[in-house]
Amino acid sequence: MADTTVLREGLRFGEGPRQGPDGRLFYSDFYDHEVRALDLATGEEEVVCEVPGQPSGLGWLPDGRLLVVSMLDRKVLRLEDGGLVEHADLGGVATFHANDMLVDAHGRAYVGNFGFDLHAAIAAGGEAPMLEPGWVAPGTSLALVEPDGAVGVAAEDLKFPNGTALLPDGRLVVAETLAFGLTGFAVADDGSLSDRRVFAPLREHGIAPDGIAVDADGGVWVAPALRPFAFRVEEGGAITREVETSQTCFAVAVVGDKLVCCTAPTSQPEVVAGARLGKLEVFDL
C-alpha cells in the first residue's frame, strides 16, 4: 500500500510543483496547459494561467512575478497583470523541449531541457535500452536566464538536465535523469557554475532522477521517474528514507512539513495526454 494520501485526482500530467510566495502549492499540468495554485489547508484551487506551449518549471522573480517554462516553444514566460509575456527565448541553448526550472533569490533561472526526443525513443524501443550501462544519452546544456531575460549557458553536456535545487550551503544540484545521478556545482556571485562533481550516483538503485526538492536538513528528495516511490538522498548516494506512492512519481516538492508528489502511470503522451490518470499525493514529513 502507498504511504501517501491522494490529494487530487484527475490530472493529466502534473509537473514542476513549488511552494509559492503566498504559501500555496503551484504546479503545472502539461496536457491541460494550465498552471494551478492549491491551498493545502483549505483545498481551494485556482487556475493561475494557461500556457498553450505546455507549462513545466515554475519560479518567481524577487518582486513576486511568476515565471513559467513553455516547453514546446522553448521559452520562459512571465506573468504580468495583462497576462503572459515572453521573458526569455531558450532556442539558442535548448536542443529539445524545455523542462524543469529553478529560480534563485536574485531572479536568475536555471532551465533544463530534454536534449532529444525522449518520448519518441521510448515509443520506438522502450525504456530498457536506456537502462544499459553502455547507453549514453545525447548531451545538452543547462540554460542560465538572467533577471532581464538574457540567456546564457550555465553548464554543458548534461544528460537530460531535469529537476534543479539549491542546497543550504549554496551549492546547486541538478538531476541528470539519463546519467542516473545528481550532479553538484559551486555557484559564483554572478550565478555561474563551477566545480562540477557527482553529488549522488543513483544507477545502482534504479533511479532515473526527475524532479527534486531539498528539505530543511539539506536532504534531497528525488522522484525516480521509473518507480512508485520518492527517495530522500544524501551526498554520496545514501538513501535515508523512502515513501511509496500509488503510481510512478515524476516530481516532488517540500511544502511546509509535507512532501507533495506528482504521479502518473507513465510519462508517455499517448497514454496520459488523453486521460486523467495523474494525481497529487501528499506525505507528512
List, for residues 213-258, the tens digit of each pLDDT value. 999 999 999 999 999 999 999 999 999 999 999 999 999 999 999 9
122-142 in b/e burial notation, b at 16+ Cβ within 10 A? beeeeeeebeeeeeebbbbbb
Q: Which amino acid is at 222?
A: V
Strands of the sheet with 249-255, listed across from one edge: 5-11, 278-284, 258-263, 249-255
* Neighbouring C-alpha atoms within 13 Å toward the C-beta of 61: 16
At 203, is the secondary structure helix, strand, or coil? helix
pTM of the model: 0.95
Q: Cα separation of 77 and 174, whole Å?
A: 22
| Domains, the chain | 5-284 (2.120.10.30)
Instruction: Check residue 259 and give its pLDDT.
Output: 98
- From 263, 260, 265, select the one nearest 14 (Cα to Cα): 263
3-state secondary structure at position 134: coil
Please give the mean pLDDT across all residues of the chain. Answer: 95
Distance of alpha carbon 110 from alpha carbon 102, whole angstroms: 5
| DSSP secondary structure code for residue 116 in this structure | S
User: What's the confidence (pLDDT) of residue 137?
Assistant: 76
Pairing of strands 14-19, 25-29: antiparallel
pLDDT tens digit sequence for 86-133: 999 999 999 999 999 999 999 999 999 988 666 777 777 777 777 777
